[in-house]
Amino acid sequence: MCACFGVSASIIEPAGFPISDRHFRRSGMDYLDQVTLERHINFAAFQAFAKTALQPRRVVLLSTKAAVRHIDFQFHPDDILLLGRESAGVPDDVHAAVDARVLIPMVPQMRSLNIAVSAAVVLGEALRQVGGFYG
């Protein structure tokens, strides 16, 4: 997805998989070499990365606990979308540390979407808002 939309990806350790793992490489297919992939040893290192760029970037968390729908949120071109684990989301301290939180509206009885689907839904809306689609 990142390669196709021209956005970079970050992995915050500890991840549930090694980046060099053959399954990770296989799931990335031949696209993995087309993605700028950043690795951060922990959330504090990721925060430093987001805040020390030439222009600090907002970290926008996708969360089932958010109050603002992703379609109602005003995205900026340099926002960073943050997604947690499918099973547990992000820890409370991470939830409290982000700049904004957005929710994907769903049928009330459903808990959540797959993480890849969630990322695609919100990235699509963010790119639509900022004119970031190719073509």
Please report the domains of the chain, with CATH numbers, ordered by start residue: 2-130 (3.40.1280.10)
Q: How much of the chain, in percent, has pLDDT values that exceed 70?
A: 87
Q: How large is the average pLDDT for residues 14-22?
A: 66
pLDDT digits (tens, 9 = 90+) for 69-90: 999 999 999 999 999 988 888 9
Task: Please state the pTM of the whole predicted model.
Answer: 0.88
Query: Dihedral (C-alpha) 66, 96, 61, 94: value to the nearest 10 degrees?
Result: -140
pLDDT band at 23 (very low <50, low <70, confident <90, very high): low
Q: Which amino acid is at 92?
A: D
